[in-house]
Amino acid sequence: MTGFPRFLRLSVLAAALLTAGCAGWVRDNLSQSSTPWRRVQADALPVTLPPGGSFPIVAARTRSTGQVYRSYIAVLGNPTVLPGENRLSIDVQTLPDSLMGALVQPPRIFPVPLYTTETLTRTLAAEFPDMTAKVADAARRNRYGDYDFAVAHDEQNSCVLAWQLITDHTRTLPTRIEAVRLEYRVCGTTRDPKALLRPFDSLVLTLPETVLETDDLDRM
A 10 A CB-CB count for 93 gives 21
Q: Would the pLDDT of 190 be above 50?
A: yes
What pLDDT is attached to residue 79? 93
Q: Let me know whether 6 and 99 are in one domain.
A: no
Which pLDDT band, with edges at 50, 70 and 90, does 217 fall under?
very low
Domain residues for 113?
A: 33-217
Q: Which residue has the higher pLDDT, 110 or 175?
A: 110
More reliable by pLDDT, 141 or 29? 141
Identify the sign of the CA torsion 170, 206, 97, 27: negative
Are residues 22 and 56 located together in one domain of the fold? Answer: no
Mean pLDDT to the nearest integer, 118-122 = 97
pLDDT at residue 22 greater than cutoff 70: no
Domain count, the chain: 2
Asked whether residue 126 falls in the same domain as residue 38, the answer is yes
Residue 110's pLDDT is what?
A: 94
Residues 62 and 17 in one domain: no
Looking at the structure, do residues 84 and 2 belong to the same domain, yes or no?
no
| pLDDT > 90 in the chain, percent | 61
- Tell me, yes or no, whether 176 and 153 share the same domain: yes
- Do 20 and 93 sit in the same domain of this protein? no
Least trusted range by pLDDT, from 14-28, 70-84, 125-139, 183-197: 14-28
The answer on 80 and 14 residing in a single domain is: no
